[in-house]
Amino acid sequence: MLLLRPPGVYRVDRDTALLTDVLRDRVRGRHVLDVGSGTGALAIAAAQAGAASVTAVDLSRRSAAAAWLNSRLHHVPITVRCGDLFTPVRGRRFDVVVANPPYVPASDQSPTRYRIARCWDAGHDGRLLLDRLCSGLPEILTDDGSALVVHSEVCGEQATIAAMAAAGLDARVVARAVLPFGPVMRARAALLEARGMIVPGQRVEEIVVVAGERR
């Protein structure tokens, strides 16, 4: 898919692709929210797969602008909002929430100041955004709504399943892919080894898509 990507906006990667494959079968006729939309790749895929409506939210103004431009480029109607997580759509409900949030463990706990690193840095355990996202699901999902979230095994699939369960969702892993570390994970390998988050010498990670459905 041709996507405009200004500097500082996440380049579509293998996690985007894995989640895209999963969401295509689950969004027809549904109202979809893509949180942390970057270029809008997931939002556009949802619209092309027959979603009833698609809303994309990103904290970064450049990403929101890119998602809007890309939706026009691909002739799909997407509503784009800029802001933190669910704040720009507070009070609304969606049938399906899709997210490829920042999930790479970082040396700092607080969100980074650097624009591009905001796409992946996610606190010491990689769960800074993931846990906020999971705990916010009850307020954003319709009664039969579901969430599709992609992340690395390094920040814990069981932790996501437990966080979704605490939010009233039945959750399980619906897709997996073992992939060599990309440049960010390679650069963090020593930190992750020192923290015991990967075994010494490990340079592959499993990417998982966790699906949660409201009970």
Ligand X SMILES: C[S@@+](CC[C@H](N)C(=O)[O-])C[C@H]1O[C@@H](n2cnc3c(N)ncnc32)[C@H](O)[C@@H]1O
Task: Give 39 or 55: the residue with its C-beta nearer to ligand X.
Answer: 39
Residue 77: CB minimum distance to ligand X, A: 18
Residue 186 to residue 189: CA distance in whole angstroms: 5
Residue 171: CB minimum distance to ligand X, A: 20
Task: Give 169 or 207: the residue with its C-beta nearer to ligand X.
Answer: 207
Task: Provide CB contacts within 8 A for 115, sequence distance 6+.
Answer: 8, 60, 62
Residue 172: CB minimum distance to ligand X, A: 21
Residue 148: CB minimum distance to ligand X, A: 11
Task: Give 63 or 146: the residue with its C-beta nearer to ligand X.
Answer: 63
Task: Give 90 or 170: the residue with its C-beta nearer to ligand X.
Answer: 90
Residue 19: CB minimum distance to ligand X, A: 7
For CA atoms 34, 105, 214, 87, give the dihedral sign. negative
Residue 118: CB minimum distance to ligand X, A: 5
Task: Give 10 or 68: the residue with its C-beta nearer to ligand X.
Answer: 10
Binding residues vs ligand X (CB under 6 A): 10, 12, 16, 35-39, 41-42, 57-60, 63, 84-85, 100-102, 118-120, 129
